Structure 1
C-alpha cells in the first residue's frame, strides 16, 4: 500500500470512502482534500452520530481509494490555524463545478472548519 498512490487518488477523485472506528459495516462517501501532502476532510453534517464524532472517540478507521483500502488514524490537526486557509482553498479549487460550488463555499464556513480532521495512512 503506497501513500503516494492514495494521495494521488484523493487529489483526482471527488468522492472518497471512509469508515470511522470499527463499528461501521460500510464506507461513507465524503469529500477529502490534499494540502502539504496531508489528507484532510471536514464534516458536513453536524449530527452527534457522525464520522467526525466517531473519530474523536476512536481514531482508528479506513479510507477506500478505488479498490484499495488503507488503514488510517484520524486526528484533529494541531496546526489547524496554520493550514485552514490552504484547506479552504483546496476545497474551493477541487469542488468548483455545478452543484458542488454551493457546498464548497459552505464547507469553508467556521462551523465546518471547526470539524476538520486529518487522516494519517498507517503502514
Structure 2
C-alpha cells in the first residue's frame, strides 16, 4: 500500500499549545488548564510534558458554550443595550439575582429568554 504523501492527521486541524488555546477561548492559560482538568475541554494530549489540543476540540467547546442560536447568551453590555441601561446596572441585576447568569470563562452571561422573563415580570 502506497502511503507516500498522505499524512496520518488532518492538516487543517492543527494541535495548539495551551497559550494558543487560551487565547482562542479568551481565558487565561491557568483557566484553560482548569477546564482540561475538570473534563470540560478534551480530549487533549501531553507531548513532551506540554498540553496540546486540536482546534476542532476548541471549536466544539465554544459551540457548546454558545448554546441555542435562538436563545443566545448576552453579556452585561448586550443586556444594557437591550434594556437601555448601563452595563454596570445590568451587572447589578445579575448580582441581585433578578437575572440568572452563567459564568463562562471570566465573563458572566445571561440567556436572552431570562431577560425577556425579567421584562415581563416588570411590565406585567
Give me the TM-score of the superposition, normalised by structure 2: 0.23
TM-score (norm 1): 0.23
**Between Structure 1 and Structure 2, whose CA radius of gyration is higher?**
2
More strand by share: 1
Query: Whose relative contact order is higher, 1 or 2, with alpha carbons under 8 Å and at least 6 apart?
Result: 1
